[in-house]
Amino acid sequence: MKSLSVLVLLLLIPVGGIFAQKPTSSQKKINELYTDALNLSRDGNSVKSAQKLSEILKLDSTFYMARFALADLAHESGNLDIEINQLQKGLALSGEANVSGFKFLGEALFKKAQYDDALKSVEHYAELKKTLTSSEQLLLESCRFSVKAIRHPVLFMPVNPGDSINTTDDEYWPSLNAESNKLVFTRLVKTDIKGKKIARPQEDFYYSNWDSSGWHKAKSVGPPVNSDENEGAQTLSADGKLLIFTGCGRPDGVGSCDLYISVNKNGKWTMPVNMGQPVNSAAWESQPALSADGDTLYFVSSRAGGKGNMDIWKAEKVSVSASGVPRYGNVTNVSELNTQGNDLSPFIHADSNTFYFSTDGRPGLGNTDIFMTRIREGKWSEPVNLGYPINSNRNEDGLFVERSGERAWFSSNRNPETGWDIYYFTLPDSLRPDPVSYMKGIVYDAKSGKKLNVDITLTNLTTKKVVRKISQLENDGEFLVCLPSGSNYGLNVSRKGYLFASENISLVNDFSKKSPKEVIIRLQPIAVGAFTTLRNIFFETNSYQLKEESQTQLDEVAQFMIQNPGVIVEVTGHTDHVGTKEYNLELSSKRAEAVVFELRKRNIAPWRMKSKGAGFDFPVGDNETEEGRSANRRTEFMIKEIVNE
């Protein structure tokens, strides 16, 4: 709503001449009081201004300008009830003489969540004005949306996870790892250990772990992440080993608020470091959101070059430091989603396609609402409001959706007695992302038993696209990779001086039945007799014709041979026990030959490779089950000799 002085100008009433004809003594008094009220309001003395306006109404209850002025003062103080009451009384007296009054009334009713009445007032304003500004059009569309949303609510039953997480202090901004068994959040600590209020409330990170007994009592993340400064608005990587958060007003800051990063190594967080330019700027950066593969960082910034007040930006991972800290650059504005308003709290789900964010620049129920969009064929779909009562006339932001896509976490101050608390709820089907599984593994040296940091590559075997790459610098022998549904994945684990290992994870069919896969991989040092199973070599049924999905594994084998030119290997084919011994021996031999032939096509010298068929003589699984027979149908790769390079 406009200030009192601007409102007077809008109504075309001159300050010194309220009455067109020669004023009476009573009218002179009203004129003086009104001028005094206007001056007092301009000087910031709203109490005395309101007193003057009340005196006017005692003299003349039909003087609608006093009503509008009182509404304006109520607006400035945030008293919606008085603002609405005075606007309604003023409009009843002025009729359509004050067109803007209908917009102001609509805005106040909208903030009060009285959407039906707000829509009537704003629609009447639109009829009178004919042409609307962009902000007025947004208000009209928001009123129309809200009326429909209230009449068609979505299922929403928020659950408080309990006092292990929530306290009388404020808790907000929940983040979880891909396993959904570690929750990190921000707590605004207002009291000391004895329960007494402290002079300077402190924002720190806390975490809680989940097991079969429920959520454990939250503990402080502690130093060096928590400090004497405030920390907040964080994102946790899928494997739980990377924390990116917001720090403001720090000595090493680039702008007012910057993004900082810390890595968890062997159970301990490293000293946070400023992410630097170009991620941080002289402006305000906050609210980071990291993709599950760690390659893209979304965040909010007020920097120049955006579309509105606060915009969502993204940065790509460009390198990894010697200490294992990823570096991000190539910062771009997510212009397809940003508006002229405030676009906030981005969150990219582990499916890498579904994106949630908050904004006040799109039709909603008031303040910031949460929206969802999906990336389809490289483009963002039209954002969808999550609906009522997930969204309300309050600010909604900070949504986090679990890897499964079934449950979302958020924070709210819906209970005034406890302040801000963390809640979770089951997402309606239409608002869920694509389901995602994961593979979790530990890599050991097969000889010493010590954990090995390794290079890890996850490839979509159908598209041959690398979907995740983890360097030796980024892991300590443990890894976790997210696996969106509908694809067949190949995992390659390698390290110089060792024979590589591979795993296959097919999520093409029956995804709902798939459980996360946990593996233990023992890499064998390069030596005669060392062998590995080529788990991503596939053949057509009862054939030695290689499937197209085998090409990635063949490339990996060829790369190993190129990097180790002195290695001579033997490729052995194995089958299940379906069919005769002679048939399976011949089939396994031809399959091994087919692999060697493909490697020759990749310029591996023929003398470095031998092939052999073993038929079904060496089973590793139960031939009475399909799972066992599948394990028996395999191709093995063994080092037979090492010659001088």
Q: What would the pLDDT profile of 209-267 be if each residue is shown by its tens digit?
A: 999 999 999 999 999 999 988 899 999 999 999 999 999 989 999 999 999 999 998 88
Q: The CATH number of 4-151 is which of 3.40.605.10, 1.25.40.10, 3.10.450.50, 3.40.50.720? A: 1.25.40.10
Distance CA 605, CA 608 (A): 6
Least confident piece of the model among 45-59, 414-428, 542-556? 414-428
Q: Are 431 and 386 in contact (CB under 8 A)?
A: yes
Q: Are 370 and 390 in contact (CB under 8 A)?
A: yes
461 exposed, middle or buried (CB, 10 Å; 0-12, 13-18, 19+)?
Answer: buried
Residue ranges matching CATH 3.30.1330.60 in the chain: 436-642
Q: Is the pLDDT of residue 533 over 90?
A: yes
Helix, strand, or coil here: 583? helix
What would the two tokens of residue 172 be? 């907000």
Mean pLDDT score across all residues of the chain: 92
What would the two tokens of residue 208 be? 């809680």
Instruction: Place 11 in a pLDDT band, splitting at 50, 70 and 90.
Output: very low
What confidence score (pLDDT) does residue 491 get?
96
Q: The CATH number of 436-642 is which of 3.40.50.720, 3.10.20.520, 3.30.1330.60, 3.40.50.300? A: 3.30.1330.60
Instruction: Place 201 in a pLDDT band, splitting at 50, 70 and 90.
Output: confident
Q: Are 444 and 521 in contact (CB under 8 A)?
A: yes
HSE (side-chain half, CA atoms, 13 Å) at 100? 16
- The single-letter code of the amino acid at 94 is S
Q: Strands 436-445, 478-484: parallel, antiparallel or unpaired by DSSP?
A: antiparallel
Helix, strand, or coil here: 261? strand
Q: Are 322 and 308 in contact (CB under 8 A)?
A: no
Question: What is the mean pLDDT of the segment spanning 448-461?
Answer: 96
**pTM, 2 dp:** 0.91
Indicate the length of the chain as a whole number: 645
Question: Architecture of domain 173-431 in CATH?
Answer: 6 Propeller (2.120)
Quote the radius of gyration of the chain (alpha carbons, Å). Answer: 33
H-type helices in 550-638, by residue range?
551-563, 581-601, 626-632
Q: Is the pLDDT of residue 318 over 70?
A: yes
Distance CA 396, CA 360 (A): 10
What confidence score (pLDDT) does residue 154 get?
96
Distance CA 111, CA 394 (A): 9
Q: Is the pLDDT of residue 575 over 90?
A: yes
Residue ranges matching CATH 2.120.10.30 in the chain: 173-431
Distance CA 185, CA 395 (A): 18
What confidence score (pLDDT) does residue 560 get?
97
- The single-letter code of the amino acid at 415 is N
Instruction: Place 125 in a pLDDT band, splitting at 50, 70 and 90.
Output: very high
> 462: which residues sit within 8 A by CB, 6+ positions away?
487, 488, 549
Distance CA 497, CA 524 (A): 9
